[in-house]
Amino acid sequence: MSEPTARLAVLGKPIAHSKSPGLHLAAYRRLGLDWAYERIEMDGAGVGEFVLSRDAAWRGLSLTMPLKYDVLPVLDELDAIARLTGAANTVLFDGGHRLGFNTDVGGIVRSLGEAGVVQARTAIVVGGGATAASALVALAELGVAHVRLLLRRPEAGAALVELGRSAGVRVTPEHIEGLGVQGEEAIDVVVSTLPGGTDAGVAASEALVGTALLLDVAYAPWPTPLAAQWLAAGGRVIDGSGMLLHQALLQVRVFVGGDPTVPLADERDVLAVMRETL
């Protein structure tokens, strides 16, 4: 068996559940590329040395949390979205340079777009990690002016408030119990960034479930406790598989062409074969 012409991997801990290899390998087969893409279990303490030790056979990496933060010190350059969010989920090895990108923002925008949300005014984000930062920037792209940021410790939301200022969004940190309280303004979109299976510990208000689309970025196990409540009440819910799919497509753009904004050749067909793996 011949050696692959390029090596790629998704890093994280745990990582055995990741659907990224199936998504990426489907894309590369459709594009006629003999590339390898594997799962590698890795925590934040090891990611820097791993990235620095890759040889010329390596083309790129996909990163899960908390590696999206931990990788930043060993990168030579970040794209504008990674700089803004302070998180990189994609590393491109390019001529000896290590370039970082954030494709989570585009994944969220495109996933919401498929659900019919191409513009919004108000939103709630549940959680305060790297995915919450990407969600804030994605919501800004959709025109959202105000985000209620729901956290177990609202005082921990200062960095996301500042990110909101940079992105042109007013961010109001609240205790997560605010999920059960109808605020003064109707909410268009709720994005839950809680890890899969995590219970928010509070039921969403009937008014919120009745008016807002819930994007729960988790996809396994499914449904999450919050999504189950939304579904039981007849609310509109999408899981994180769409975000996963579209951020992976943008990663393929990076690994193939070096630019997440430039479409692939036959991109519609590439997306279709990737979607079939989910």
Nearest of 84, 59, 51, 111 to residue 248 by alpha carbon: 111
Residue matched to tokens 């890093």? 11
pLDDT class for 2, splitting at 50, 70, 90? Answer: low
Indicate left, alpha or beta for 120 from its phi (over 0: left) and psi (-120 to 50: alpha). beta
Write the DSSP string, 148-209: EEEESSGGGGHHHHHHHHHHT-EEEEEEGGGGGS--SS--SEEEE-PPTT---SSPPPHHHH
- Average pLDDT of the residues in 22-51: 97
To the question of domain 116-235 being in CATH 3.40.50.720, the answer is yes
- What is the arithmetic mean of pLDDT over 47-55? 97
Give pLDDT, residue 195.
87
Percentage of the residues of the chain whose pLDDT score is greater than 90: 91
What is the model's pLDDT at position 277?
Answer: 97
Distances (CA, A) of 11 to 2, 15, 226, 248, 273: 24, 7, 27, 14, 23
Q: Which option is the CATH number for 6-103+245-275: 3.40.630.30, 3.90.226.10, 3.40.50.10860, 1.10.260.40?
A: 3.40.50.10860
Instruction: Look up residue 125 and give its two tokens.
Output: 């984000």
Q: Write out pLDDT tens, residues 199-224.
A: 999 999 999 999 999 999 999 889 99
pLDDT at 65: 81
Per CATH, 6-103+245-275 and 116-235 having the same topology is answered yes
At residue 183, the pLDDT reads 78
pLDDT digits (tens, 9 = 90+) for 82-106: 999 999 999 999 999 999 999 999 9
Q: What is the pLDDT of residue 234?
A: 94
pLDDT at 1 over 60: no
What are the sequence ranges of the domains in the chain? 6-103+245-275, 116-235
Give me the mean pLDDT over the 26-32 stretch.
97
Supply the residues annotated as catalytic: 68
Per-residue pLDDT band for 182 (boundaries 50, 70, 90) equals confident
Average the pLDDT over 23-32 and give the result: 98
Q: What is the predicted pLDDT for the residue at 3? A: 75
